[in-house]
């Protein structure tokens, strides 16, 4: 089994916390200082996702 990717971690964190934090619009996960992934679902500010 391969380790989770930053993209999958961002989605997992968002799903885990979005119910308790309705103001949450996005999650960003950094793998290194120069690489990162963001998850911002449509309808919660996702139209302008980075």
pLDDT, one tens digit per residue, over 3-31 is 678 999 999 999 999 999 999 999 999 98
Q: Tokens 């119910």 correspond to what residue?
A: 19
Q: Which of 37, 42, 40, 33 lies closest to 5 in space, CA to CA?
A: 37
Q: Give the Cβ contact number of residue 31 at 10 Å.
A: 12
Q: In this predicted structure, what is the pLDDT of residue 21?
A: 95
**What pTM was computed for the model?**
0.74
Q: In this predicted structure, what is the pLDDT of residue 42?
A: 85
Task: Output phi, psi for 10, to 5 deg.
Answer: -60, -45
């Amino acid at each position: 089994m391969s380790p989770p990717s930053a993209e999958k971690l961002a989605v997992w964190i968002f799903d885990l916390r979005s119910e308790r934090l309705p103001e949450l619009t996005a999650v960003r996960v950094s793998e290194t200082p120069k690489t990162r992934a963001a998850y911002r679902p449509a309808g919660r500010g996702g139209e302008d996702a980075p």
